[in-house]
Amino acid sequence: MHIYPAIDIRGGNAVRLLRGDYSKETVYSLNPVDVALKFKKAGATRLHVVDLDGALEGELVNKDIIKKITSNLGMFVEVGGGIRSVSRINEYLAAGASRVILGSAAVEDEGFVKDAVKFFGDKVAVGVDALGGKVAIGGWKTITDIDAYDFCAQLREGGVRTVICTDISKDGALEGTNLEAYRKLVKIKGLRVIASGGITYYEELEQLKEMGVRGAVLGKALYDGALDLSKVVELCENAG
């Protein structure tokens, strides 16, 4: 199971939000590139980078910072936030991103997602953020009536291979993740599931790995020291 340390960028800083609430922000670093280097030094080979301003505004607000990470670190970097056109996909991939994550655009424009997957293949993933089992869009500000599980199944039918699934109610709370949701999602044939949101304990990582989850995004648990990245990498990527 791959480990993706998360770097959420807002106002040029590396931050974490509590349950997706933009008013409950903790700034961890004024230099996200330094954070990425720290994660690499600790053994990470992959990163999950999100432009929070971009997700909210629908534009690539922090793209210059993100491009410094994708072009200079020599890591597998998946990037999300404000990616709502083919030109923006091309821009990040050309800057060294390994994969782009479509969020709101995947909900609002089914044709765009199908075309993106057809053209870019596995370099496109979809971020499915849910609250109460319903898909959220627009920087988690708008909760739709779309069932998250059904949406993931629909994405797979449309050619999407990888989804990053976040339970917003768990994100940043250090209270554990939604294991039951992932047990259900991994049953969707041919879908690679990356778990995100609230992962706090080593035991959870072991359970996610055993159930067949392909990756885990770690945020606040790393920043606050609940999980040690070197130990996590050894446990999940290097063991057995």
Which DSSP string do the residues of 5-30 spell out, in sequence order? EEEEEETTEEEEEETTEEEEEEEEES
Active-site residue, 64 included = no
Q: Give how far the C-alpha of residue 77 lies from the chain's centroid of Cα atoms, to the nearest Å.
A: 10
Question: Cα–Cα distance between 64 and 198 in angstroms, integer?
Answer: 28
Query: Which is nearest to 100 in space by CA: 193, 172, 162, 20?
Result: 162
Active-site residue, 8 included = yes
Q: Which of 51, 53, 129, 171 does the annotation list as catalytic?
A: 129
Q: What single letter denotes the amino acid at residue 87?
A: S
Question: Cα–Cα distance between 48 and 95 in angstroms, integer?
Answer: 15
Relative to beta strand 192-196, strand 162-167 is: parallel
Query: Which is nearest to 16 in space by CA: 6, 24, 26?
Result: 26
Q: Which of 8, 51, 53, 171 does the annotation list as catalytic?
A: 8
Active site residues: 8, 129
